[in-house]
């Protein structure tokens, strides 16, 4: 009897309390929506851009030059320019090499040809030039540096031509003698000179420092469309 009374009292106490039973937890969704990544524009690889540029170059079956191997596509303030180095197979002493320039504009996923300059720069002998490169140091536009030259009756001269890739087309900035050697015609008392560029100030001037049988420097300054020796004439003799 006492145990039953206790149970009834406990039930009565629980009934008098404002107890709210806990709700079961909300089940988690069986799967979540995958966020969509923002679309991004991936630029084409350099090799793909070069291949697209080469596709718009006209084929000149009458050209005496053979191209390929070191083509370059560069960006200029006026748009992309494709540069191609050509040589004359089995060329004679009088034949030089060439740099061709093709001015392009973007079109769809590739390019369209705007202007073609098949002989933007020519130099060298026996069918080819020496070396070529592109510099951003000399002018506000990229500048071709083309090294060439040759030997005449034992006198060897090396020239470096600077050609600016202007919006309207390639334009000569200077032709500088960067090597001179008379050992082929005067073996007992040869004169040798080797010049290198220094102190370049864009669109204003540069210095050529010579070493060899003599050591001196020449300053070239911008006068109009070209760089010219400050004293009027170069001290380097010709053949």
pLDDT number for residue 238: 84
Which is more confidently placed, 231 or 167? 167
Residue 31 lies in a domain: no
Which is more confidently placed, 109 or 21? 109
**What percent of the chain clears pLDDT 70, i.e. is strictly above it?**
83
User: Would the pLDDT of 150 be above 50?
Assistant: yes
Q: Which domain holds residue 72?
A: 46-229
Poorest-pLDDT segment among 38-42, 82-86, 117-121, 168-172: 38-42
User: Would the pLDDT of 151 be above 70?
Assistant: yes
Range 39-46 average pLDDT:
72
Helix %, strand %, coil % of the chain (to 5): 10, 45, 45
Residue 176 lies in a domain: yes
Residue 6 lies in a domain: no
Residues 73, 82 contacting (CB under 8 angstroms): yes
Render the burial of 73-105: b for 16+ CB within 10 Å, e for the rest: beebeeebbbbbbbbbeebeeebbbbbbbbbbe
Residues 171, 103 contacting (CB under 8 angstroms): no
> What's the predicted TM-score (pTM) here?
0.80
Residue 13 lies in a domain: no
Residue 15 lies in a domain: no
Which is more confidently placed, 14 or 176? 176
Residue 158 lies in a domain: yes
Closest CA to 101 of 85, 87, 79, 120: 120
Residue 83 lies in a domain: yes
C-alpha dist (Å) from residue 192 to 109, 188, 189, 198: 52, 12, 10, 20
pLDDT number for residue 204: 98
- Per residue in 109-118, pLDDT (tens digit) is 899 999 999 9
Range 21-27 average pLDDT:
54
Poorest-pLDDT segment among 34-43, 89-98, 107-116: 34-43
Q: What rounded mean pLDDT belongs to the chain?
A: 87
Residue 33 lies in a domain: no
For residue 82, give both structure tokens: 């494709």
pLDDT number for residue 231: 84
User: Would the pLDDT of 14 be above 50?
Assistant: no
Count how many domains the chain has: 1
Poorest-pLDDT segment among 6-15, 133-142, 148-157, 215-224: 6-15
Closest CA to 65 of 10, 6, 140, 124: 124
């Amino acid at each position: 009897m006492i145990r039953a009374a206790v149970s009834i009292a406990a039930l009565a106490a629980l009934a008098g309390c404002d107890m709210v039973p806990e709700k079961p937890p909300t089940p988690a969704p069986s799967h979540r929506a995958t966020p969509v990544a923002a679309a991004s524009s991936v630029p084409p690889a350099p090799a793909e851009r070069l291949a697209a540029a080469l596709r718009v170059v006209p084929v000149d079956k009458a050209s005496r030059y053979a191209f390929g191997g070191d083509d370059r596509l560069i960006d200029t303030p006026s748009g992309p320019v494709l540069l191609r180095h050509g040589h004359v197979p089995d060329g004679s002493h009088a034949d030089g090499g060439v740099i061709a320039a093709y001015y392009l504009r973007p079109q769809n996923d590739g390019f369209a040809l705007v202007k073609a300059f098949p002989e933007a720069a020519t130099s060298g002998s026996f069918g080819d030039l020496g070396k070529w490169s592109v510099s951003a140091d000399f002018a506000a536009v990229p500048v071709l540096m083309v090294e060439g030259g040759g030997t005449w009756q034992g006198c060897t001269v090396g020239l470096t031509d600077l050609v600016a890739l202007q919006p309207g087309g390639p334009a000569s900035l200077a032709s500088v003698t960067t090597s001179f050697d008379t050992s082929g015609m005067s073996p007992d008392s040869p004169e040798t000179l080797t010049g290198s560029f220094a102190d370049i100030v864009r669109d204003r001037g540069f210095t050529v420092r010579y070493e060899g049988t003599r050591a001196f420097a020449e300053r070239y300054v911008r006068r109009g469309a070209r760089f010219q020796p400050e004293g009027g004439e170069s001290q380097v003799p010709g053949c």
